[in-house]
Amino acid sequence: MINKFVPDLQTAIADVHDGAVVMLGGFGSVGMPNQLIEAVADKGVRDLTLIANNAGAAFGGMAVLLQKGAVEKVVCSYPRSANSTLFVDLYREGKIKLELVPQGTLAERIRAAAAGVPAFFTPTAAGTQLGAGKETREINGKLCVLEQALFADFALLESWEADRFGNLTYRLAGRNFNPIMAGAAKTTIVQTQHIAGPEGIAADDVMTPGIFVNRVVHIPYGDPVL
Amino acid sequence: MPDTLTPIKTLTREQMAARLAQDIPEGWYVNLGIGAPTLVANYVAADREVIFHSENGLLGVGPAPAPDKVEPWLINAGKQYVTLVQGASTFDSAESFGIIRGGHLDLAVLGGYEVAENGDLANWSTGANDAGPAVGGAMDLGAGAKQVWVLMDHTTKSGQPKLVERCSYPLTALGSVTRIYTNLAVIDVTPDGFVLRDAAPGLTFDDIQARTGATLRRA
């Protein structure tokens, strides 16, 4: 019988290794796999490359990894935060690398990886510093830049509900980057607020099909805190 | 130049937002950038349905909830608690930016450091790298929305024009701005450059031209 649930966080992240490229779901503090990230930090791995929308929050798993010096590079769109200078301080001191990506391009590069599209042209960032050095082409009268798919070794996600097949749902703004990161990584690991009943999630309600998901751990931590 | 100008009465941020809100037609899908553009939602007439989009995957964003009605799973791209109105929908980040990049969004209202007379926008970096670079969705909105309206002061705090011939700050998007709402005026960006569409009460064409870093044309 298929059962993608694992008993605890340590089992879920057991193979996350030094130098791994790790995607983190979430936007702001909503839909963020905080407990999975904290488990990775506790494991003591180093030289991680993290792919996430935000990197600036004062608390939550990403901050724990940054504080531990476990991160070599961050790929994100918005590493600033009103309530923390943690990332910015590391960046200024030259202790961390940053690849800044426009948010929509970040999302599309992740989706492209999951969908087997190796690269795509987009008008976003054409003619700007963030498009500099990339192949450009005028398509239908618009200047476009070539962007590469963004792959990872692991994706750490948070769902609202999961069933034993790894089918997932999300709640309100908790969806964000989670569904697109599922499938862009070799191994997708999910922490879920709720476990679906014995009949599983109804087919029409599934937001992420279980084929994209490798492991699920039940972490009913409750509401996110801004 | 700025020191020699006669002091003038300018619009407040709220008045600028209200002026912009007047021009949004019913039925438009609109993204409001972080900061002053967010105020626009407060001034859309109650009898006019405008659907607000948020980059983190929301269409149909409503006003902030009462403190005892907060839904912890519902924030906007500015990471503030919001509500959803009737007809709202939620989706993932790739679809959210597909809405933007795919040209489905009628309007993005953005803040700005500079707008050039060819419609180039600079609003994400002052180049100084003072706080570490961050871009968010600005470049996607600048390149993708059908209309890009910029809501900003007409000059910097020291009186330097923010409407210029060519941007000096790093660009956000090329030739994308179609209209600018400032504390002095409403200005269209046309193939012929800046065209004065509306002046704040008591201001003349010359008052506004004197505070603009490129040629202003009469409508």
* C-alpha triplet A118, B55, B34: angle, nearest 5°: 130
Q: Domain A9-119+149-218, CATH 3.40.1080.10 — does that match?
A: yes
Q: Look at residue B94 and tell me whether its pLDDT is greater than 70.
A: yes
The reported pLDDT for the residue numbered B31 is: 98
A226: nearest CB among B75, B84, B132: B75
CA atoms of A49 and B203, how far apart (whole Å) = 54
Q: Which is higher by pLDDT, A220 or B126?
A: A220
Those of residues 28-87 in A touching chain B at CB distance below 8 A are 28-30, 53, 56, 77-80, 87
Q: What is the pLDDT along chain A (226 residues), one digit of tens a residue?
A: 999 999 999 999 999 999 999 999 999 889 999 999 999 999 999 999 999 998 867 667 688 999 999 999 999 999 887 777 888 889 989 999 999 999 999 999 999 999 999 999 999 999 999 999 999 999 999 999 999 999 999 999 999 999 999 999 999 999 999 999 999 999 999 999 999 998 999 999 999 999 999 999 999 999 988 7
- The alpha-carbon radius of gyration of chain B (Å, integer) is 18
Query: B114 forms bridges with which residues in the sheet?
Result: B122
Chain B residues with CB under 8 Å of A75 CB are: none
Q: Look at residue B1 and tell me whether its pLDDT is greater than 80.
A: no
| A120, burial (CB in 10 Å: exposed 0-12, middle 13-18, buried 19+) | middle
Query: Quick one: which H or E segment has residue A36?
Result: helix A34-43
Location of structure tokens 């994100």 = A76
- Going by pLDDT thresholds of 50, 70 and 90, the confidence category of residue B131 is low
Domain ranges in chain A?
9-119+149-218
B205 backbone dihedrals φ, ψ, rounded to 5°? -55, -45
The reported pLDDT for the residue numbered A215 is: 98
The reported pLDDT for the residue numbered A225 is: 84
The reported pLDDT for the residue numbered B4 is: 66
CA atoms of A146 and A137, how far apart (whole Å) = 8
Q: How large is the ipTM?
A: 0.96
Q: Look at residue B209 and tell me whether its pLDDT is greater than 80.
A: yes
With an 8 Å Cβ cutoff, is B56 touching chain A? Answer: yes
Which of A202, A193, A178 is closest to A224 using CA atoms? Answer: A193
Q: Which is higher by pLDDT, B117 or A58?
A: B117
Q: What is the pTM of this model?
A: 0.96
Residue B187 tokens read as 């200005």
The reported pLDDT for the residue numbered A62 is: 83
Q: Look at residue B16 and tell me whether its pLDDT is greater than 80.
A: yes
CA atoms of A184 and A113, how far apart (whole Å) = 5
Which of these is catalytic: B55, B95, B114, B165? Answer: B55
Domain ranges in chain B?
2-36+94-218
**Whole-Å CA distances, B196 to B19, B180, B184, B193, B214:** 15, 10, 10, 10, 12
With an 8 Å Cβ cutoff, is A124 touching chain B? Answer: yes
CATH class of B2-36+94-218: alpha beta
The reported pLDDT for the residue numbered B132 is: 72
Give Cβ neighbours of residue A132 (< 8 Å, ≥ 6 apart): none
